[in-house]
Structure 1
């Protein structure tokens, strides 16, 4: 596909990002968000930026605004069992590929956060290191993925109350690790990670 086409204002571009890579519990979640190139500045206007720099309430508000503006979006994941089988990098790329291929419309270019291209993707793609900070479209994807994953973990927290998941969202806080020592692993823990559950 030519550079001239990529410069066209109406080209459909997908921003793609994942969240939850460093967690001990739960899936890695990816989102793909499609907009026309000319519409991407609107994301900055409504305050879209790196999801880690936003409060949970602000992320939820922006997630709704992003969905309303997107031509298409999709959120997918790779389970903790897939992470254990494939490793976290390959599982993250799998979640990204699922989010792209399940879009209701095919973008002409995918902007991928990080330095690893999505394997066996037929759509042209460009990797951007720190893309969630420099690309509002990738940042939009990170917000959708983060909100979806956090809501999932809060629901799972009711089923697994010992691990303080509502507060740590699956990350390896001191309280989470102490609970692992006391109660052991549950179905959604990543067994390939160094969980240090020896008493």
Structure 2
């Protein structure tokens, strides 16, 4: 069954919505304004501004509305550019973007305040068109508000496993585990738990947004009891090669933002993301308020920001 997803301009979107009102079905589709059936073609009009056409005549039906080159055949092949990119990337099978994949990513590793969050998300091939229609893509291209909105929509759509390491927990284990080792442990655990959650279903592949060379990852993995080592691929900017990584990235970021907001409310200060000068200033205020013990509840103490904040108080 062919699937076509369009992202029309606002004017065309309204025309599509008006046109298919006459073909509307009673079926309720999450996050959609309208579900319609015209002949053998199902049309889903999403709140995100995207429109999905499904059925043997989907391409023909979509063509009358497509005035841009942005449409993609989500059940067959991606756009020519994306297909070429995936096929040309060393180590990834041809057509990788259309497989059922577990993707994993992390957020918070470079932020002084807030937790380290790792997420593994399973995007089966039959859900890829819907994920695209919801606006799932690289979280760096989305605003914080968009990330939170899409994350809430993903919760009932796909299976995923979040692991949140609070600053307090991070500081407790950091002397034993360096940053890379810690992330290897967390990615492996998240993927392992997700595999158990979706069993007996098995993904076609597992894609980790690469943060260290594969050999280094497997070196640290060797020390783990429950090792997930088969069908794993490592690619930087993994969200460009499969929506599973993009979904994991969005879920990670949303969780990080929520945790940071809760910690800010608890300490009574706005905790910034990142590790810049603003973080130094906030750290100094927390040190004045409750010393290193209080700071350790909200910050990753091995960062250079801690020493800078201490020096500023001398």
* SS, match of residue 86 in structure 1: coil
Flag the 1:37–1:156 CA change in 2: closer, same or farther, 3 A: same
Q: 1:91 and 1:135 mapped to 2: Cα distance?
A: 24
Q: Name the CA distance, whole Å, in 1 between partners of 2:250 and 2:96.
A: 26
Q: Is residue 94 from structure 1 mapped to residue 185 from structure 2 by the alignment?
A: yes
Q: Which secondary structure state, in structure 2, belongs to the residue aligned with residue 69 of structure 1?
A: coil
Task: Specify every segment of 5 or more residues in structure 2 that has no aligned partner in the other structure, as ranges.
Answer: 1-93, 222-226
Partner of 1:73: 160
Say whether the 8 Å CA contact 2:114–2:263 is kept in structure 1: no
* Cross-structure match for 2:112: 24
Output the TM-score relative to the length of structure 2: 0.54
Q: Is the 8 A contact 2:103 2:244 kept in 1?
A: yes
For 2:279 and 2:239, the matched residues in 1 are separated by: 27
CA offsets 1:20-43 (integer angstroms, 9 cap, x no match): 110112321011111223432432
C-alpha contact 2:115 2:259 (8 A) present in aligned 1: no
Structure 2 equivalent of residue 105 of structure 1: 198
Counterpart secondary structure, 1:75: strand
Q: How many angstroms does 1:139 deviate by?
A: 0.7
Alignment of 1:56 with 2:144, yes or no, is yes
Question: Please, what is the CA RMSD of the aligned residues?
Answer: 2.7
Bigger Rg, which one: 2
- Alignment counterpart, residue 187 of structure 1, candidates 274, 282, 296: 296
Task: Give yes or no for contact 1:40–1:136 (8 Å, CA) kept in 2.
Answer: yes
The corresponding residue for 1:3 is none
SS at match of 1:91: helix
Q: Bigger relative contact order, structure 1 or 2, given CA contacts below 8 A and separation 6+? A: 1
* SS state at 2:206 partner: strand
TM-score, normalisation: structure 1: 0.82
